[in-house]
Amino acid sequence: MIWFYFVLISMLLLCPNTTILATCSSIGNQSAAATDGNYGGINKSCFHKEKQALLHFKASLRDPLGQLSTWRPAEDDDCCKWSGVTCNNHTGHVTELNLHSYHLRGEISPSLLNLTYLNHLDLCFNSFDGTIPKVITSMTQLRYLDLSFNFFHGTIPRSIGSLTQLRYLDLSFNFFNGTILPEFGNLTNLRNLSLGNNERLSTIQTLDWLSNLSHLQHLDMTHISLANATH
């Protein structure tokens, strides 16, 4: 099985525009708009505190391709025009980070907690590893979270249950192990949930939590055995 991930990752490294990338759902419009520095005619420049948070976030990452080269500390540099960053066009607050396929790795800085209006975080197709950092499960305002196609491992933290605003959650194509937690039953706003293709996330004890997810439209549990599940 492991070879499969290496083939995937190698394909990513060798040909970043292959159709495999179509599995990152939010691909396309938002980041294209962000790169153009044109997202609905925003005139308000970004907030100092949010800019500092983004610069701290960048500082703890490794960015071998310089994808974050537009993220600069210069005084007159508007962080709403930075690649991958989207701001609300009325308030100027940072609302989205679309960093899929940026080849990033390293630490995810707790400074993200200062992006208090961030509701959309897409880190799909990067090289983050380790367990899901606490900062992520502390951003309880998130509505969209995509961590798919990384090297995250270990068990999924129980604190995932605090992300109650999530509409979209994709944890697929990582290396999580252990069981699927009943805490997912707390995520009652979910429309889309993808947990599949985690090589060792192979058991599930109970499906009771699933009946709580009454808005669910899309559920991916590819390669997760339901053999021991009751309900």
Ligand X SMILES: *[C@@H]1O[C@H](CO)[C@@H](O)[C@H](O)[C@H]1NC(C)=O
Q: Could you give the string, one character per residue 185-204, with x where binding to ligand X holds by CB under 6 A and - elsewhere?
A: xx-x--xx------------
Q: Which region among 3-11, 60-68, 69-77, 212-220 touches ligand X (by CB under 6 A)?
A: 212-220
From the CB of 14, what's the least distance to ligand X, in Å?
A: 26
Q: Which region among 10-18, 57-65, 69-77, 154-162 touches ligand X (by CB under 6 A)?
A: 154-162
One-letter amino acid for residue 193 of the chain: L
Does the footprint of ligand X cover residue 162 (CB under 6 A)? Answer: yes
Residue nearest to ligand X (CB): 185
Does the footprint of ligand X cover residue 231 (CB under 6 A)? Answer: no
To 5 degrees, how large is the angle CA 204–CA 205–CA 207?
80
Does the footprint of ligand X cover residue 218 (CB under 6 A)? Answer: yes
Which of 164, 205, 225, 228 binds ligand X (CB under 6 A)? It is: 164
Range 19-58, binding ligand X (CB under 6 A): 25, 28-29, 40-41, 43, 49, 56
One-letter amino acid for residue 161 of the chain: G
Does the footprint of ligand X cover residue 183 (CB under 6 A)? Answer: yes
Q: How far is CA 198 from CA 101, 151, 155, 201, in A?
A: 19, 10, 11, 5
One-letter amino acid for residue 84 of the chain: G
Query: Residue 216 in 3-state DSSP?
Result: coil
Query: Residue 167 in 3-state DSSP?
Result: coil
- Helix residue ranges, H only, 103-187: 134-138
Q: Taking a C-beta distance cutoff of 8 angstroms, is the pair 167, 191 a contact?
A: yes
What share of residues in the chain are helix, strand, coil (percent, to 5)?
30, 20, 50
Nearer to ligand X, 1 or 14 (CB): 1
Nearer to ligand X, 10 or 60 (CB): 60
Tokens standing for residue 89: 């066009």
One-letter amino acid for residue 29 of the chain: N
Interacting residues with ligand X (CB under 6 A): 25, 28-29, 40-41, 43, 49, 56, 89, 110-111, 113-114, 153-155, 158, 161-162, 164, 168, 177-178, 182-183, 185-186, 188, 191-192, 208-209, 212, 217-218
